[in-house]
Amino acid sequence: MSSDLNATVTMRYEINHGLLVLQVTPDEEVPPFQAGQYTTLGLLGAAPRWHAADPEPTPPPADKLIRRAYSITSSSLQGKYLEFFVALVRSGALTPRLFALNQGDRIHVGRRIVGMFTLDDVPPGKDIVFVATGTGLAPYLSMLRSRYAFDAGHRTVVVHGSRVAYDLGYRTELEGMAARYRNFHYLPIIDHPERDPGWTGEVGYVNRLFEDGTVARRLEHPLSPERSVVFLCGNPLMIEGMLDLLARLGFRKHTRQAPGEIFVEEYWK
């Protein structure tokens, strides 16, 4: 129902075909949240799909609200709007509709903001390695934008993997942070250099930067569970590979019941 649409798209831009930054302003105040958490976005079945998405074999009822979870990229310190970083799933139910949105269109945003993928359980003084592929960068952006303590006695490394350089969303912002804060390092890496002849940076999958010591050099010590925690968000194959690699170094997955040094957010399995 149109009463489900409780927010307005106040900004949209496409980083590249298939990667969208969406800024949404709820009719009511943004509820307080912690950087790293997520909420839901939703549109009605009647909403148009992006022109180049796959056609739907069975379209949903026009009045059905299609909802999915999205990590918030905006700072938790401002209560005006929420920003999201969304990848197109061409055959998907919601993302082709999100891509067809224009500034001023109405959208549903969840009234609750939830999730455990936050900095809450990170012991003070530990180095933090944020590892993402694609839109898995989203929760880290919120953490970094929310008055994150870049120089509080620890080092921070962001490892971001994508297919090509023009898929590396928020690159300029992260390069700016790296230039400004000596304890902050940004390591972008692409796995399809043949499609990006101008790229002179790192090539391969994110795990390569752990295996060849690049991350350890930025930390200025070998990666170990005694000194560091690692956050993982993005492609399930990347998460699986990184969990194996980190387990070999003695890292354990964190839960509230059994504290460990690996924090994981899974977007899909």
Ligand X SMILES: Cc1cc2nc3c(=O)[nH]c(=O)nc-3n(C[C@H](O)[C@H](O)[C@H](O)COP(=O)(O)OP(=O)(O)OC[C@H]3O[C@@H](n4cnc5c(N)ncnc54)[C@H](O)[C@@H]3O)c2cc1C
**Interacting residues toward ligand X by CB under 6 A:** 38, 68-71, 84-87, 89, 92-95, 134-135, 138, 265, 267-268
Nearer to ligand X, 66 or 219 (CB): 66
Nearer to ligand X, 43 or 159 (CB): 43
Task: Report in angstroms how near the CB of residue 43 gets to ligand X at its nearest.
Answer: 10
Task: Report in angstroms how near the CB of residue 169 gets to ligand X at its nearest.
Answer: 10
DSSP-assigned letters across all residues of 47-94: SPPPTTSPPPSSPPPTTPEEEEEEE--S-TT--S-EEEEEE--TT-SS
Structure tokens at 42: 């939703």
Nearer to ligand X, 70 or 218 (CB): 70
Measured CA to CA, the distance from residue 59 to residue 46 in angstroms comes to 9
User: What Å distances lie between residue 246 and 26, 119, 261, CA to CA?
Assistant: 40, 19, 9
Nearer to ligand X, 212 or 240 (CB): 240
Q: What residues form DSSP beta bridges with 87?
A: 19
Task: Report in angstroms how near the CB of residue 184 gets to ligand X at its nearest.
Answer: 22
Sign of the CA dihedral running 16, 235, 109, 169? negative
User: Residue 244: enclosing H or E segment and its boundaries?
Assistant: helix 236-248
Alpha carbon of residue 65 to chain centroid: 24
Measured CA to CA, the distance from residue 143 to residue 131 in angstroms comes to 13
Task: Report in angstroms how near the CB of residue 75 gets to ligand X at its nearest.
Answer: 15
For the chain, the straight-line distance linking the first and the last C-alpha, in angstroms and rounded, comes to 30
Q: Is the distance from CB of 214 to CB of 189 less than 8 angstroms?
A: no
Nearer to ligand X, 71 or 76 (CB): 71
By beta carbon distance, the residue nearest ligand X is: 92
Nearer to ligand X, 68 or 145 (CB): 68
User: What Å distances lie between residue 119 and 34, 132, 182, CA to CA?
Assistant: 9, 16, 20
Nearer to ligand X, 213 or 236 (CB): 236
Kindly give, in sequence order, each residue whose CB lies less than 8 Å from that of residue 246, ignoring residues fewer than 6 positions away. 230, 261, 262
